[in-house]
Amino acid sequence: MNKLIVGSLLLFVAVGVAGYSWTQTQPSRILVGNILLVVEIAKTSADQQKGLSGRTSLPSDHGMLFVFDHEDYYGFWMIDMKFPLDIIWFNSTRQAVFIEQNLLPCTPQNCPVFTPNVKAMYVLEVNAGFVLAHQIALGTTFTFLST
């Protein structure tokens, strides 16, 4: 069954990942390849529904990480976005399995859903150009860092 992320709406959230607490209030840090990112993790229902939609920008070293409780084909779309994104899907071992680059904001009349062709458990939204600038490729991994 496919899951659709509506305007970055998170449908399922993992309660925890071994060695990592989801109850912290500060932004989390991850290492994607060798690039340090500060990520927000949507925790409340309101945060999950909003995602990055409505914001005018995102700092270059920031992103939003969606965490699911199991691998599946999670689709995202760019409704209500104000700036383009790169989206990276990672499997349960935190290895990049699907990448979409330079996704432009859409209109209600023309708003494609971007769904990976392999199952993923984590999805990272970053500014457009991040993948190219940092040579992120399939197989690139990410690691949670202590805050």
- Give the E-state strand segments of 6-61 in sequence order: 28-32, 35-41
User: Over the chain, what is the mean pLDDT?
Assistant: 82
103 Cβ contact partners less than 8 Å away, ≥ 6 residues apart:
78, 84, 85, 86, 87, 114, 128
- Indicate the pLDDT class of residue 146, thresholds 50, 70 and 90: confident
So what's the pLDDT on residue 44?
Answer: 56
Q: How far apart are CA 101 and CA 106, in angstroms?
A: 14
Angle CA 120–104–128, to nearest 5: 65
pLDDT digit string, tens, across residues 62-72 = 999 988 889 99
CA distances from 74 to 10, 11, 93, 141 (A): 9, 9, 16, 18
- Indicate the pLDDT class of residue 26, thresholds 50, 70 and 90: low
For domain 3-14+28-145, the CATH architecture is Sandwich (2.60)
Residue 45's SS3 state is: helix
Q: Structural domain boundaries of the chain?
A: 3-14+28-145
pLDDT digit string, tens, across residues 103-121 = 999 998 999 999 999 999 9
